[in-house]
Structure 1
């Protein structure tokens, strides 16, 4: 093994990013894949006579960990400003995923697992061991290893086709949005937009050598205009551009065709593997719910939300008429919702952000982890980071090192402007020699950099995104299972691993909690609970229509992938889904799903998981509301029942054990005003 490559150092230590060069990346992955192939063949030879837990299961797990840890540690480098890093990182990601698919086609290896499972030792494993073995055997089955050679070859071709189509989706997105901008020289057109957003637009213009203000199709400027700009023509211009990302009059560059082709390709894959539909196949990997259960869940929510959404539409129509708009257009809807039925707030949006500077919010997150779980996050200045501004922490609980947490919060060139995500760098586990291996996670958001002498200041949406990702990080760190694959919370599926993140968001809706962590970045003063409650009431009123859009996206996801060959066009499915969800009717030009990138980043037939997790999170939070938002006993009970098992058991089991009763959707419905 090449000792000169820092990516090939001991895989349980944090990567020394300061010395990683671009040529190290591909070389490390190539060598690890080659070494892993040789090691698998050696394990097969040694285990043929008598496959064992240590010699087979844990030995293969160790190889998976070595390769995955290196790959996941490379991922943050893909968001450097230089495009070559991204290209190589994505290339390596695809190569490793292809290798793991190849591994699951190894018939000899599968037979060893099957022999071990049928042995006396396999039959007498504890429930964690049986769960791990079951997941491995299921992964082999779903890979198509049982298929004849010609069908396996077709399966491989379909996988390559999916990869190419995913790439085409993002290329189409970039073609329609990356080069779009609106240069404004008349400040009057920006009337109503918060000052901090205007400052960011001015900074964007300066970087292009322009005066005035530059508006791009990133989330922050789009929301600033569509929610606040009094210039109706400006709202329309930006809305039309934003809601046609990924769309083109040329079918070659239009994402409707890409989504249709993807759904048909995945349908063929599912049927090749013996499933009636892609949802039936894919939900095997995403939490175990059946397509029928998911559709029932979504349709029940749509039915319960319908009357409230219709009332809200009527109120908005009335508000529009009061402003002289006989028929409000889509670019008016969010703006009118912001205006109607509210007395002026005592703090502006700019004033509000000043009370939530990033350093204070990071301190609040550290404090919350300590209070709820006894988890101590200590800054680790000796750990190398991939970009200036990234924060690194050691995570300790009960005097034991659990692992490491990185927070990469600030927007920069190369990082997706709208994205917020968590990368699980390493899973905790104990190997065949009894050595404990720590976990590590990296949280990413794109909070606007500070302007002038001010630190980065967070909007309420920024707060929710950061708390959401922190929830993922806590869940990952607080798993207690010793098995490598059961420590992978992503194996819970979106409806499972999104629960912790959705739960942490609920703290951002508590006026008393936000008041306790608010601190003006210059004056050091705090906001009152009364002031924050008025702000949150207004924000909460905006969430019900967003619920309809989330329902529409989830219904579209299931519809497209459930019956892609029924002859309906993608846009017809979009309109049907929006109608069922009770969302505001679409204008003829709108193409909201052409930019629905969750469908090509692993959430296909899984987008429902956000709503599914939200219902669970509201009910979990109800216990914290009763017992205290920083109650240590409640936090530790949550860890014991929900977080600690990892993917060893369905998370719904842990949720109901924590609540000591069946799950209830009432807290969710009441908050949205959909139940008494």
Structure 2
């Protein structure tokens, strides 16, 4: 082993100060070569009598070594340029290795023989559960197929990978090639100050005077919700709603989605499934296709009356404002104007009370108060960027693992993005050694100007708390098995439940007031002022729910029958119509930038809505017993987080609630009609 390569010490935190580009690919290639040799040896040694330690735990250790290194490399993608190219190559090599491993028919045979043996039949229930998950993963990867079928599957996987890369290339190209240069500040009347400052910084970065509007979520929302200049709203709206769209088929993400859906359908059928939806739900478990469709159909019925009323209300308000025809770029602006009052808090006033330091302290306090988890910042831990903060995670005097918080936007990060890396899985190996968990939280908060602190909007807060929920879920798992500690093995709704739950605290005026602190004076916001502000935001959530519903309907429509002759545009229009969203104009391509369908949520986007329903119900117990009641928090951990993927989320929810789950809190909050 080349000990000079810092990436080859996978059981230790990486010393990023020592990592060079030339370390990346050699490290992954060496680990893959070592793993191939080890697997060959395992197959020979286990042919006579497969055992848990020398088969299951031995292969798990190989997976852990590669995954730990890969997820240590993954943040280096954000450095862009040669770093991004090298890290991407590592990712491709690792994914190819894992696919090849999962298609190894000899390994599948050994796992099956172990499961069927007297030894396997007498394993404890968690080990049996893990073994069944392993068997399923091999079958869903095609290990049981004939050689020619496995080769065909590999071709389809490559087509899917290429299509996903093309999607991002098209999205990046269409976004990067568009901007609006403003020299007359009057055109920005109504836009919050912090957004204008960000636009000014964007202009300065390109040696321009005035302000530059880029195709980023924050700038887009600032203009269409606040700008009094209707022409500017139209200009920005038209561009944003056509991201990823092009008259050239090769550059149009509608064509990419169709090709991806066709390849996924062929893959699913090759593996014995009617369609990709059934394959995906089998892969990640949780619910059936019929349950999902019934859930979305029920939500569609419930949302219609309120949306129809809201549409009429906006039309009436527009006429009162002298606007006879409501265009798509008027809708968000009218919603804001309709609900604004002279005493309302502005977005700038809210942001001023949530600096990044204030919010990180709130996260630390939240974990301590609710779960008894102590997050201690450790400045000796090396990170991939100076803005990244690293914490040791301790509960009941035991070191659980590590948390990285990479919150501030910078070159290389996609603007407005937020995600979590489940870097290390907690497990105990064959020698009885405990391996800690690690998670990394990423958001793209607008950097501060000069010496000022980065400030968070309410949307930023929700994103941070959502990703922190994912991290806590991962860090608070208590299983000892590598597979069962991976919360990504939960169903589409299960993997989102913790993130959606923690968002609920961001809608509590009482909680937000308790953590607020003006960045200059230290004064908190009042509960009453926040109640008014949050009430105005809440009134605008039902139309956003309709868009989320439309996305879920489109996802299932596309992956249910991709070859039924309907175009992507027809499917999008049908989905928005069924969801009751504001009617689409001919030029709109709202889902050509729907990147979740190339990031692991294809045929599973409904999980966000599914998890949201449960999150409201779970949160109702904290509303009754105390928002930071540690006894309630510990019960949540034991019922829902600690089991990891060893039991279904539904079981944990009902165990925590001590009753069957209910959609009533969700429906009340959104002012929907129960069916």
* Normalised-by-shorter TM-score class: over 0.9
Shift of 1:341: 3.9
Aligned match of 2:39 = 40
Aligned match of 1:180 = 178
Relative to structure 2, which stretch is displaced further, 478-487 or 345-354? 345-354
Please tell me whether residue 7 in structure 1 is matched to residue 7 in structure 2: yes
Shift of 1:453: 2.8
SS of equivalent residue, structure 2 residue 591: helix
SS of equivalent residue, structure 2 residue 284: coil
Aligned match of 2:313 = 315
CA distance in 1, matches of 2:339, 2:522: 32
Aligned match of 1:62 = 61
Superposition map of 1:303-342 within 5 A: 303-342=301-340
Aligned match of 2:668 = 670
Superposition map of 1:231-270 within 5 A: 231-270=229-268
Give the alignment partner of residue 373 of structure 1, picking from 371, 382, 386. Answer: 371
Residues 553-607 of structure 1: CA distance to partner in whole angstroms, max 9, x if unpaired? 0000000000001000110000000011010000000001111010011100010
Aligned match of 2:293 = 295
CA distance in 2, matches of 1:171, 1:352: 36
Aligned match of 1:550 = 548
Residues 346-391 of structure 1: CA distance to partner in whole angstroms, max 9, x if unpaired? 4321111101111011001100100111000000111001001111
CA distance in 2, matches of 1:438, 1:241: 46
CA distance in 2, matches of 1:435, 1:302: 50
Aligned match of 2:70 = 71
- Asked if the contact 1:287/1:496 (under 8 Å) is kept, the reply is no
Aligned match of 1:125 = 123
CA distance in 2, matches of 1:649, 1:91: 35
CA distance in 1, matches of 2:342, 2:587: 34
CA distance in 1, matches of 2:86, 2:215: 26
Shift of 1:342: 3.6
Shift of 1:105: 1.4
SS of equivalent residue, structure 1 residue 283: helix
Residues 18-65 of structure 1: CA distance to partner in whole angstroms, max 9, x if unpaired? 110011111100101000000001111111111111011000000000
- Asked if the contact 2:50/2:111 (under 8 Å) is kept, the reply is yes
CA distance in 2, matches of 1:111, 1:564: 34
Aligned match of 1:273 = 271
CA distance in 2, matches of 1:87, 1:553: 31
CA distance in 1, matches of 2:449, 2:250: 41
- Asked if the contact 1:287/1:495 (under 8 Å) is kept, the reply is no
Shift of 1:545: 0.3
CA distance in 2, matches of 1:344, 1:330: 26
CA distance in 2, matches of 1:197, 1:261: 38
- Asked if the contact 2:192/2:226 (under 8 Å) is kept, the reply is yes
Superposition map of 1:623-662 within 5 A: 623-662=621-660
Shift of 1:289: 1.4
CA distance in 1, matches of 2:112, 2:285: 23
Aligned match of 2:83 = 85
Residues 89-147 of structure 1: CA distance to partner in whole angstroms, max 9, x if unpaired? 12211211111110011111111111110111111111110110000000111111111
TM, length-normalised to structure 2: 0.99
CA distance in 2, matches of 1:390, 1:268: 42
CA distance in 2, matches of 1:172, 1:521: 40
- Asked if the contact 1:286/1:495 (under 8 Å) is kept, the reply is no
CA distance in 2, matches of 1:425, 1:619: 30
Superposition map of 1:53-452 within 5 A: 53-80=52-79, 82-452=80-450
Aligned match of 1:52 = 51
Relative to structure 2, which stretch is displaced further, 101-110 or 613-622? 101-110
How many residues align? The count is: 674
Shift of 1:234: 0.3
SS of equivalent residue, structure 1 residue 512: helix
Aligned match of 2:476 = 478
CA distance in 2, matches of 1:474, 1:344: 40
- Asked if the contact 1:317/1:328 (under 8 Å) is kept, the reply is yes
- Asked if the contact 1:286/1:606 (under 8 Å) is kept, the reply is no
TM, length-normalised to structure 1: 0.99
Shift of 1:302: 0.8
Superposition map of 1:510-521 within 5 A: 510-521=508-519
CA distance in 1, matches of 2:85, 2:221: 30
SS of equivalent residue, structure 2 residue 265: helix
Please tell me whether residue 28 in structure 1 is matched to residue 35 in structure 2: no
Relative to structure 2, which stretch is displaced further, 146-155 or 623-632? 146-155
SS of equivalent residue, structure 1 residue 593: coil
SS of equivalent residue, structure 1 residue 215: strand
Shift of 1:344: 2.3
- Asked if the contact 2:286/2:494 (under 8 Å) is kept, the reply is no
Aligned match of 1:573 = 571
List gaps (5 residues or longer) in structure 2. Answer: none
